[in-house]
């Protein structure tokens, strides 16, 4: 084999390896970017608002008008966060929770957020075939780009509460910073 043949074979092997990585790798939804792109695409004919206004100032209106709120935990959590100055949590409960019932985990999140004076409602899908995950929605937007396992979510409760209050205050959904119980 000459050097050209070796380079060609190496190039083909790298291409096959990259293709295999794409096929085998699990694809995770990007909870922020995917919905943003959909809002912009579906509302393209509406020239009365800028892209920024569509995504931020009138986000809930754009979702309601152009996308709707599906009858899923994600759709219900998003709608709840639009309707109420609170956190909507989509909880897809899989068999990996063991002896821990999803309702008890949901109650824990609700109670912990309440300690920081943040209201939350959790929408549960039982027996989720891909394991357990949670998405957190504030003002119609996902707080994180990717869903989190409940054990990861527990570690972020204080940050979630602080950011919820900050977002709701700056968006005018609450009038003053709630005092913490601590």
Q: What CA–CA distance (Å, rounded) separates 146 from 5?
A: 43
Residue 158 lies in a domain: yes
b/e per residue 117-133 (b: at least 16 CB within 10 A): ebebbbbbbeebeeebb
For position 153, which CATH number holds? 3.40.30
Residue 98 lies in a domain: yes
Residue 24 lies in a domain: no
For residue 128, what is the enclosing H or E element?
strand 120-128
Q: What CA–CA distance (Å, rounded) separates 127 from 5?
A: 52
Residue 78 lies in a domain: yes
Residue-wise pLDDT for 25-34, tens only, equals: 334 456 778 8
pLDDT tens track, the chain, 182 positions = 555 555 444 444 344 333 333 333 334 456 778 889 999 999 999 999 999 999 999 999 999 999 999 999 999 999 999 999 999 999 999 999 989 999 999 999 999 999 999 999 999 999 988 899 999 999 999 999 899 999 999 999 999 999 999 999 999 999 888 776 44
Range of the domain at 108: 69-170
Residue 6 lies in a domain: no
Residue 87 lies in a domain: yes
With contact defined as beta carbons under 8 Å apart, do 158 and 116 qualify?
Answer: yes
Q: What is the pTM of this model?
A: 0.80
Give the number of domains in the chain. Answer: 1
Residue 127 lies in a domain: yes
């Amino acid at each position: 084999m000459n050097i050209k043949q070796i380079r060609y074979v190496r190039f083909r092997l790298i291409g096959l390896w990259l293709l295999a990585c794409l096929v085998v790798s699990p694809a995770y939804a990007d909870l922020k970017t995917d919905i943003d792109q959909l809002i912009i695409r579906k509302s393209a004919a509406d020239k009365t608002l800028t892209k920024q206004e569509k995504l931020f100032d009138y986000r809930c209106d754009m979702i309601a008008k152009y996308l709707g709120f599906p009858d899923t935990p994600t759709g219900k959590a998003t709608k709840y966060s639009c309707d109420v100055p609170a956190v909507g949590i989509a909880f897809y409960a899989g068999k990996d929770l063991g002896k821990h019932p999803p309702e008890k985990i949901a109650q824990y999140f609700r109670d912990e957020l309440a300690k920081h004076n943040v209201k939350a409602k959790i929408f549960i899908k039982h027996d989720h075939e891909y394991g357990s995950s949670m998405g957190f929605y504030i003002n119609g937007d996902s707080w994180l780009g990717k869903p989190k396992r409940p054990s990861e979510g527990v570690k972020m409760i204080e940050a979630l509460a602080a950011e919820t209050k900050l977002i709701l205050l700056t968006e005018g959904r609450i009038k003053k910073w709630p005092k913490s119980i601590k």
